[in-house]
Amino acid sequence: MIIRRYEETDRESVKAITTICFEGVSIDYGIEVKYGPIDGKDWRWRKVRHIDDDITANAEGIFVAVENSEVIGYVTSRVDHDSKIGWIPNLAVLPEYQQRGIGKNLIEAALIYMAEAGMLYARIETLAHNTVGQHFYPSMGFEEVARQIHYIMPLGKK
């Protein structure tokens, strides 16, 4: 298994991994559970758009885990040169490859990248019902600083 920088040919693999790994642990999934697909589009459609956003914003800060020429995990990162705080918006490893240190290696690659880009801090977030993230991120050295609650309501219906 190797960790390398993202290449454009990885885009569809990263999106496929996203739809597998974020089921049950994404805001978009929670919205769909409550309201169903919106305008004919499901949570997967909305979530993979975040990957396109990450690629557009900072493709050089994306790293993929590859085994036998197959992308099996990824991490996206962004840097803010004004605040000196980097951000990891998305991290995912295919279920059959989890518990092998791949997520740790991906985060470490992103942290090195952010430090080399001049960031002084790195942040990551997870949902309250993502028990894996709530255990894993502190084990990597991240400390909780705040909690957030996400709300949604339909518009135009009273």
Comparison of pLDDT for 128 and 93, the residue scoring more: 93
Tell me the CA distances in angstroms from 76 to 47, 111, 155, one per residue in order: 14, 11, 32
Q: Can you tell me the distance from the alpha carbon of 112 to that of 91, in angstroms, rounded to the nearest whole number? A: 15
Pairing label, strands 70-78, 63-67: antiparallel
- For the cut 80, the answer to whether the pLDDT of residue 120 exceeds it is yes
- Rounded CA separation 74/144 (Å): 23
Distance CA 19, CA 5 (A): 21
* E strand segments, the chain: 2-5, 63-67, 70-78, 85-93, 121-124
pLDDT of residue 26: 92
User: What are the strands of the beta sheet with 63-67, ordered from one edge?
Assistant: 2-5, 63-67, 70-78, 85-93, 121-124
> What are the pLDDT digits (tens) for 55-102?
999 999 999 999 999 999 999 999 999 999 999 999 999 999 999 999
Q: Is the pLDDT of residue 118 over 80?
A: yes
Is 80 exceeded by the pLDDT of residue 148?
yes
**pLDDT interval class at 128 (50, 70, 90):** confident
Give the pLDDT score at 157: 67
Question: Does residue 73 contact residue 93 with C-beta atoms inside 8 Å?
Answer: yes
- CATH number of 2-139, picked from 3.90.1150.10, 3.40.50.970, 3.20.20.120, 3.40.630.30: 3.40.630.30
Would you place residue 47 in the very low, low, confident or very high pLDDT band (cuts 50, 70, 90)? very high
- Specify the pLDDT at position 3: 98
The pLDDT assigned to 158 comes to: 57
